[in-house]
Amino acid sequence: MIEEFDGGMIARAILKIEDSRDSALDQTLWPDESRAVALQGLHRSGPICRILPVHPDAYIGEAQLNQALGSTDMSKKYSRPDTNNPLVRPSGRLIVNADDWGRDCETTDRTFDCIPCGTVSSVSAMVFMEDSERAAAMACEHGIDAGLHLNFTTSFTGAKFPRRLQECQQSVARFLSRHSMARAVFNPWLVRPFEYLVAAQREEFIRLYGTDAERFDGHHHMHLCSNVLIGKLLPPGKLVRRYFSYEPGQDIRNRVYRRFTDALLVRRHRVVDLFFSLPPLQPERLTRIFSLTRRLVVEVETHPAHLDEYRFLTGSEILRWTEACPVAPRYEFRPGDAIESR
């Protein structure tokens, strides 16, 4: 099954499932990604073929091999990766990112309360909104890591913004709200409005924060709509939030849409391994998500404006959940963690 293996890196593989009798790995511990590596071996119940999802050109260490194979005997056939190689992926990372920074005073203040607690790594900032100016000043003063939270659907509430901005947003919002899958459709009649919305918000971010955004996501995840991705409206090489990773019971349409957006994202941008929302705050679910951070880079999205999330982030319970892998102080990758754009 494996065509080539060298120093911890699987360069090529035949993606074929022959016989799987143990689905413990399948899309539970390892949500489907943009590429998979098939590993065939022996199991007590007979021949199996496991799928280890990886990013294109990603490096796979011994821990990932052990997890995928489910057998220490099988993993011993493969050599240990070179730990001095800067391209080898190190241990995981937990990034908790708070959305809607600057949307209004309550959202900004509640998010700011979480930062001294060490439970929020970074924020996604909205521009042309009610509290955008104050929020930007707070972020610059306190060194808060802020990315751009692109807004295509929620009316701008700032004191000043171009009339054309409002007109373009209204046209785009009408299209995106027609159907839940409208975001997957490329609309050639809205090319200019989309371009203007992205450009205007990037320029406003630069004015407020003094620098261009290094990280992009979107309100209601509309930054992943086809007009943005196919239109290549986001600068190459930047960090861009992916769609929600697989969770049990997820709708088939979400899984298809995730595959579609991942295929477009990894060609031009850098992405984390996995992405989840903080709620629902169910113990079993949180245990599963936080355990993944020991070996993978995981982003968890939160909205401190919601009281249940605010209480969780400012309380002591989250420290128990994240004891093995504490919340990162910023939204950043360690050397070797980033997936470079191609």
What's the rounded mean pLDDT across residues 40-49? 35
- Chain centre distance of CA 233: 18
204 in the same domain as 67 = no
Let me know if residue 317 belongs to a domain. yes
| Cβ neighbours for 299, distance < 8 A, ≥ 6 positions apart | 95, 96, 97, 241, 272, 274, 275, 276, 331
With beta carbons less than 8 A apart as the criterion, state whether 293 and 92 touch.
yes
Is 226's pLDDT higher than 70? yes
- 302 shares a domain with 199: yes
pLDDT for position 53? 44
Domain of 300 in residue numbering reads as 93-321
Average pLDDT for 103-132:
97
Kindly state whether residues 126 and 44 are assigned to the same domain.
no
Residue with tokens 């595959």: 259
Q: Are 292 and 92 in contact (CB under 8 A)?
A: yes
Residue after which a domain boundary falls, among 22, 48, 75: 75
Are 65 and 108 in the same domain?
no
The reply to whether 150 and 117 lie within a common domain is yes
Which band of pLDDT confidence, cut at 50, 70 and 90, is reported for residue 12?
A: very low
Residue 20 pLDDT class (50, 70, 90 cuts): very low
Q: Identify whether residues 162 and 200 lie together within a single domain.
A: yes
Same domain, 69 and 100: no
% residues pLDDT > 90 (the chain): 58
pLDDT at 256: 83
The CA-based diameter of the chain, rounded to the nearest angstrom, is: 67
* Residue 91: per-residue pLDDT: 66
Number of domains in the chain: 2
266 in the same domain as 216: yes
pLDDT at 235 over 50: yes
Q: Which run of H or E residues covers position 143?
A: none
Q: Is residue 245 part of a domain?
A: yes
> For the whole model, what pTM was predicted?
0.73
Residues 141 and 55 in one domain: no
Q: Is residue 99 part of a domain?
A: yes
Residues 7, 69 within the same domain: yes
Residue 167 located in a structural domain: yes
**Among the ranges given (18-32, 277-291, 296-310), the one the predictor scored with the smallest mean pLDDT:** 18-32
Q: Do 173 and 295 fall into the same domain?
A: yes
Greater confidence, 143 or 73?
Answer: 143
Q: Looking at the structure, do residues 138 and 195 belong to the same domain, yes or no?
A: yes
Residue 254 has pLDDT above 50, yes or no: yes
Strand partners, 298: 94, 274
Q: What is the CATH number of the domain that holds 217?
A: 3.20.20.370
Q: Average pLDDT over the chain, rounded to whole?
A: 77
Q: What's the average model confidence in pLDDT over 47-68?
A: 41
Residue 306 has pLDDT above 50, yes or no: yes
* 326 assigned to some structural domain: no
User: Within the chain, where are the H helices?
Assistant: 62-69, 72-75, 105-114, 132-142, 163-176, 191-209, 226-229, 252-268, 283-292, 307-314, 317-321
* Interacting residues of 215 by C-beta distance below 8 A, sequence separation 6+: 122, 124, 147, 148, 238, 239, 240, 241, 331
pLDDT of res. 23: 34
Residue 6 lies in a domain: yes
Tell me if 331 is assigned to some domain: no
Q: Looking at residue 73, what is its pLDDT?
A: 36
pLDDT of residue 116: 95
